[in-house]
Amino acid sequence: MNLTHIDDNNRPMMVDVSNKNETKRIASASGIISMSKEAFEAIINNNVKKGPVLQTAVISSIMGAKKTSDLIPMCHPLLLTGINCDVEELPALPGFKLIVTVKLNGQTGVEMEALTGVSLGLLTIYDMVKAIDKSMVISNIQLEEKSGGKSGDFKREEI
């Protein structure tokens, strides 16, 4: 098995994508944060001392996607053409599901940007609400789907 981020001398390297075709690439990732009913209601009622939690999490998700190459050593800096964040309320949990979709026209995919966006958004929710509930759990951070590129399309199957 050839590792793409190791050269012939067993040294780390960033993959050369200069010979790859530019294609439209889209990736969506999601993750869940579960919490106490008290924390959930504080967020829903916009009653958190640090400010509007979900709006701040969306901004953090966008910033995280844009800064992925600064955080993950072998990721290429990318000219992203779009980032969309959706937040679903999960009252039965209670908690929230965050979905981040990232787009570009380029030579490499945006899966890591979508996953990083989700991670930073969920961590922001945790940070803003930890005074109410330190037992929150972040889980199920996963790629939902991707399109474009040589490896083709992927869509997670519903269970």
CATH value at residue 60: 3.30.70.640
Q: Is residue 130 in a domain?
A: yes
Residue 139: inside a domain: yes
Residue 142 lies in a domain: yes
Residue pLDDT tens, the chain, 159 long: 566 777 778 787 778 788 888 899 999 999 999 999 999 999 999 999 999 999 999 999 999 999 999 999 989 999 999 999 999 999 999 999 999 999 999 999 899 999 999 999 999 999 999 999 999 999 999 999 999 988 889 999 976
Output the pLDDT for position 15. 80
With respect to residue 90, please indicate whether it lies within any of the assigned structural domains. yes
Domain assignment present for 5:
no
155 within some domain: no
Positions annotated as catalytic residues are 127
Domain span at 86: 32-148
> Do the domain assignments include residue 26?
no
Q: How many domains does the chain have?
A: 1
CA dist., res. 70 & res. 29, Å (int): 19
> Residue 55's pLDDT is what?
97
* Residue 50 in domain: yes
